[in-house]
């Protein structure tokens, strides 16, 4: 089974520039997450999709971040304009929706390391 | 916001020793999961324990869950240098459409 694919792996941009990240989840996984992980911290959920609908985007800085998941498969996360504090690893993950009461594991991509200078 | 907090933040042991890390969380859960992250890589799922389970084993891993104390522990027995990584707990809360919330992590260093 192919894993979660993310690109690019690394990106360096200047502040105020724009950047976009791409994610292709595991086939059949309806749930897709984007996390931001700042160095030394745990992953912080930015947005969660169920198919092509947004379930949770409460921690997404909507003035500069946007995300979409057209056709309920691939997803893109965009930052415009970037700030220095956006330097982090952006992780995409997918999983089956909640099965019964107890749920299942999530599968992560390798992440995109963003450096804003 | 972080749901869980791991303790200790960092742990250094020698190969062959056991490593124990703890996770505390704030609200009721459907399940609690542990993930490993090698430097610069994505997270890898290790084990999932349901809210109605108290203990679970997988190879050299042993996880316990105490829902009354809202805490979990991960024990790695007979550690190896390859176990060097960061370990995170993550929780699924009821009624949140499988929202997965991570803790702050424990950095484990296993030396030869």
Q: Are B99 and B2 in contact, with CB atoms under 8 Å apart?
A: no
Nearest Cα neighbor of B13 from B83, B63, B73, B74 is B83
Q: Are B104 and B2 in contact, with CB atoms under 8 Å apart?
A: yes
Counting as low any pLDDT under 50, the low residues of chain A are none
Residue A82 CB contacts under 8 Å (≥ 6 apart), including other chains: A13, A14, A15, A16, A17, A18, A19, A64, A114, A116
pLDDT confidence of residue A13: 98
3-state SS class at A87: coil
SS (H, E, C) A62-79: CCCEEEECHHHCCEEEEE
Q: Give me the residue from A4, A45, A55 closest to B101, CB to CB.
A: A45
Q: Are B87 and B8 in contact, with CB atoms under 8 Å apart?
A: no
pLDDT confidence of residue A90: 98
Residues of chain A numbered 19-78 and touching chain B (CB < 8 Å): 31, 33, 35, 41-45, 48, 50, 55-56, 59
Q: Give me the residue from A4, A35, A97 closest to B98, CB to CB.
A: A97
Q: Give me the residue from A41, A50, A91 closest to B42, CB to CB.
A: A91
Average pLDDT score, chain B: 92
Q: Is the pLDDT of residue B47 over 90?
A: yes
Inter-CA distances, B34 with A18, B87, B97, Å: 34, 7, 19
The Cα–Cα gap between B43 and B68 comes to 28
pLDDT confidence of residue B2: 53
**Nearest residue in B to A55, CA atom:** B97
**CB pair distance less than 8 Å for A91 and B97:** no
The Cα–Cα gap between A59 and B104 comes to 17
The Cα–Cα gap between B69 and A84 comes to 39
B32 CA: distance to closest CA in chain A (Å) = 9
Q: Is the pLDDT of residue B97 over 70?
A: no
Backbone angles phi, psi at A34, to 5 degrees: -120, 125
Q: Residue range B87-108: average pLDDT?
A: 86
Residue B82: DSSP 8-state: G
Token pair listed for A73 = 């498969």
**Nearest residue in B to A6, CA atom:** B42
User: What's the start-to-end Cα distance of chain A, in Å?
Assistant: 37
Q: Residue range B49-55: average pLDDT?
A: 95
């Amino acid at each position: 089974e192919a894993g979660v694919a993310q690109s690019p792996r690394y990106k360096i941009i200047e502040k105020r520039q724009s950047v976009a990240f791409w994610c292709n989840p595991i086939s059949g996984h309806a749930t897709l997450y984007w996390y931001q992980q700042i160095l030394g911290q745990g992953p912080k959920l930015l947005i969660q999709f169920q198919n092509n609908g947004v379930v949770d985007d409460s921690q997404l800085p909507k003035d500069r971040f946007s995300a979409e998941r057209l056709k309920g498969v691939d997803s893109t996360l965009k930052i415009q304009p970037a700030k220095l504090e956006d330097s982090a690893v952006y992780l995409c993950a997918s999983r089956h929706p909640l099965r019964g009461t107890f749920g299942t594991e999530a599968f992560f991509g390798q992440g995109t390391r963003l450096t804003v200078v | 916001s972080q749901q869980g907090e791991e303790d200790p933040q960092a742990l250094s042991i020698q190969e062959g020793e056991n490593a124990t890390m703890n996770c505390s969380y704030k609200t009721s859960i459907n399940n609690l999961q542990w993930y490993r992250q090698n430097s610069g890589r994505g997270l890898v799922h290790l084990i999932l324990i349901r809210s109605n389970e108290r203990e679970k084993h997988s190879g050299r891993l042993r996880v316990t869950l105490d829902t009354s104390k809202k805490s979990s522990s991960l024990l790695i027995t007979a550690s190896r240098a390859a176990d060097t990584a960061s370990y995170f707990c993550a929780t699924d809360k009821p009624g949140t459409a499988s929202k997965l919330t991570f803790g702050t992590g424990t950095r484990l260093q296993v030396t030869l």
